[in-house]
Copies of this chain bind each other. A is one copy, B any other.
Amino acid sequence: MIKINENYKKLQASYLFSDIAKRVAAFQQANPDKHIIRLGIGDVTRALPDACIKAFHAAIDEMANDATFHGYGPEQGYDFLRKAIAEGDFQSRGCNIEADEIFVSDGAKCDSGNFQEIFANDIRVAIPDPVYPVYVDTNVMAGRTGEAEAGRYTGLTYLEGTRENGFIPDLPSAPVDLIYLCFPNNPTGATATKEQLKQWVEYAKNNKALILFDAAYEAFVQDERLPRSIYEIEGADEVAVEFRSFSKNAGFTGTRCAYTVVPKACKAYTTSGEAVSIQDLWNRRHTTKFNSVSYPVQRAAEAVYSEEGRTQISELVGYYLNNAKFIRDQMEGLGYNCIGGENSPYIWIDAQGDSWDLFDMLLNKAGVVCTPGAGFGKCGEGYIRISAFNSFENVQDAMKRISGAL
């Protein structure tokens, strides 16, 4: 008899997005002529940069001729892209990351979901709250948790983000082995300083723990004092893996390209305490279960690092950041306390009450869709997230409507 992985039964169905969809549909039905402005999900809306488009087309032309055709590429990604990444995103910022430490993939979601596979099942896992649900769900599927109780899984250590700590979690009080961190944060938009990340790196070193650092939103960091990579912290290459994506800087959410940095110095341990290279383990996993990213997509991603590409990416990120600033200023002007929106495309807003009450009010009185914070964990209750990924015209209109409604 073919038996299921019973851990899947522990997964709590997330009613968040279906709940949102139902409420939005009901509103639209009642107000058929009203243009609803969606500032809920974190999906980009603007066209790919021209440099990427040109490289994309050129690569397809290569695929059209036997002589220049590309079949299977290296599972880890083409050297041209790995080198461009290592130089453009790390070496240029003083981080000692080499091309052979870059693993190109089709998404940070996949990588951040899959990475836990190479570790033992009885490790102690620490996950922020509020949080991107993939970190939690993939550990539940792997059997590292007990059942869910009151919205939290037994066996996980939750790193709480609160008003008091400015949504930068404190170090755990009991030891943990695998730590998920995400800065600039999704959903809160909070950013960690170098001093704060340094504490985590020291913690990891002292506890032989590993940090999985999700830096998918690093391009939005404008304050030069803030780190854009965990490798800006000395010694982080021994205790941290970093997830990056072209989704939010270059608008690749529908084009699909990302990468993970797995430094050679990173070690995990056998039960008998023998050190093993995490890069070797990940390389084995990656080459066995993945066949790399579409060649034309890798060429399009490479173009992000060209001079033209850099200028266009910077313009694109600036556009969304301008939206974010506008949203934050408006909401603050209306008397709401906000986090994020300065070095992040997300604005995390204290709802001054229930998440869903503010959600309903914004929808029903202004025709604007946001995301109730409760969907990101217990600590998200009492907050909403507004995303800056939309046209400035829509953002302006949304804020005008919200002002009018309040």
Q: What is the interface of chain A, defined by CB distance below 8 A to chain B?
A: 1-6, 8-9, 11, 41, 43-48, 50, 53, 56-57, 60, 63-66, 69-73, 106-107, 109-110, 113-114, 117-123, 134, 137-138, 141, 177-178, 207-210, 251, 253-256, 268-271, 273, 276, 281, 284-285, 288-297, 391
Task: Report which residue of A44, A45, A50, A276 has the largest number of chain B beta carbons within 10 angstroms of its beta carbon.
Answer: A276
Given A4-B269, A8-B284, A53-B63, output 12 extra A-B contacts at Cβ < 8 Å. Answer: A1-B273, A4-B119, A5-B119, A8-B118, A45-B71, A46-B66, A47-B65, A48-B69, A53-B64, A57-B60, A69-B251, A255-B296
Cβ–Cβ < 8 Å partners of A271 in chain B: 3, 6
Considering the chains assembled together, what is the distance between the CA atoms of A193 and B391 in angstroms? 57
Question: Which 7 A/B pairs are nearest by Cβ-Cβ distance?
Answer: A3-B120, A113-B289, A43-B71, A70-B254, A1-B208, A71-B253, A2-B210
**A2 & B208 in contact (Cβ 8 Å cutoff):** yes
- How many copies altogether? 2
A64 touches B50 (CB 8 A): yes
> By the criterion CB–CB under 8 Å, are B293 and A256 in contact?
yes
> Could you tell me if B134 and A288 are in contact, using CB atoms closer than 8 angstroms?
yes
Q: Which residues of B sit under 8 angstroms from A288, Cβ to Cβ?
A: 113, 134, 137-138, 141
Q: Which of chain B's residues have a CB closer than 8 A to the CB of A209? A: 1-2
Across the interface, do A269 and B69 meet the contact criterion of CB distance under 8 Å? no
Task: Enumerate 23 A-B pairs (CB-CB under 8 Å) in ascending A order.
Answer: A1-B269, A2-B209, A3-B123, A3-B177, A5-B121, A11-B284, A41-B72, A43-B71, A45-B71, A47-B66, A53-B60, A53-B63, A63-B255, A69-B254, A71-B254, A73-B254, A106-B106, A106-B256, A106-B291, A110-B290, A138-B288, A141-B285, A141-B288
On whether A295 and B110 interact (CB within 8 A), knowing A1-B177, A2-B119, A3-B271, the answer reads: no
User: What is the distance, in angstroms, from A306's C-beta to the closest C-beta of chain B?
Assistant: 16
- With A47-B64, A63-B53 already in contact, the answer to whether A117 and B2 are too (CB < 8 A) is no
Contacts of A109 in B (CB 8 A): 289-291
A3-B269, A56-B60, A178-B2 known; A256+B291 contact, CB < 8 A: yes
Let me know if A107 and B66 touch, CB within 8 A. Answer: no
- Min Cβ gap A176→B in Å is 9
User: Are B119 and A269 touching (Cβ within 8 A)?
Assistant: no
Most buried by B among A3, A109, A121: A3
Partner of A254, one of B63, B251, B281: B63
